[in-house]
Structure 1
Amino acid sequence: MRHLPRDLSLTSAATLATLDRTGPRRITDLAVTEGVTQPAMTVLVRVMEKDGLVERRGDPSDKRVTLVCLTEAGASYVRARRQAGAQAFARLIDKVSHEEAEALVAALPALLHLATLDGQDHEGPKQ
């Protein structure tokens, strides 16, 4: 994530990834998940909406609620960032010794479990 375009903050990128992982969310839920205030998330969503990365839609189950949804451009950005991250890791793994590579493979189950636990901690209230 170090190589984000200058006009896209880490919070914006994280919010896009959250929407990709969890689906449409309320602004208040996104604010809690990303650790920012609701007014800050409102501004962030406005900017991302202007950039075509997200859109607001009514919640079919409650017409009073507006949900923030990932657009195709937003989903494409998330896929590109994940692919770039995977390629960066692949380049680094190619530089480690065979023993270090084996240690990384052995650690994968524990790392996947940590990622699952982290995802559960950051999901916030369910829709």
Structure 2
Amino acid sequence: MSITSAATLATLDRTGPRRITDLAVIEGVTQPAMTVLVRVMEESGLVERRGDPSDKRVTLVCLTGAGASYVRARRRAGVEAFARLIDELTREEVNALKAALPALLHLAELEDQDREGAKQ
């Protein structure tokens, strides 16, 4: 799976159903490229298209159960990989990571704000 596909699935998991145009902006690709990507993920059973109940002219891309399972499995694998690596650090290095957590969380918040600004 491509990085953009995985990122798109993670975005849908985090934010809920989105328009293809919104996904394209968030992931930094063209609308035609996102349309192709969504079609491939739809054929794989990871996403589906649904009508927007608030605007019948709009189609939303939604994560399927299989897509949500895939995102959870990737996250779990990432956590396990980091845990194994952290186990190899010295106590001082672990303490340095702990001290950096507030700044890292702030960076994640800033990234979310940037993504939200990009979709508007």
CA distance in 2, matches of 1:121, 1:66: 24
Alignment counterpart, residue 119 of structure 2, candidates 109, 119, 125:
125
TM-score of the pair, normalised by structure 2: 0.97
What is the aligned-residue RMSD (CA, Å)? 0.8
CA distance in 2, matches of 1:125, 1:82: 24
For the pair 1:107 / 2:100, whether they are aligned, the reply is yes
User: Which segments of 5 or more consecutive residues in structure 1 lack a partner in the other structure?
Assistant: 1-7
CA distance in 2, matches of 1:44, 1:122: 19
Q: Which runs of 4+ in 1 moved over 6 A?
A: none
Shift of 1:116: 1.0
* Aligned match of 1:50: 43
Q: Give the alignment of 1:76-87 within 5 angstroms.
A: 76-87=69-80
Between Structure 1 and Structure 2, the one with more helix by share is 2
SS at match of 2:93: helix
Aligned-residue sequence identity (percent) comes to 81
SS at match of 1:56: strand
* Aligned match of 2:20: 27
* Aligned match of 2:85: 92
User: Which segments of 5 or more consecutive residues in structure 2 lack a partner in the other structure?
Assistant: none
Shift of 1:14: 0.2
SS at match of 2:84: helix
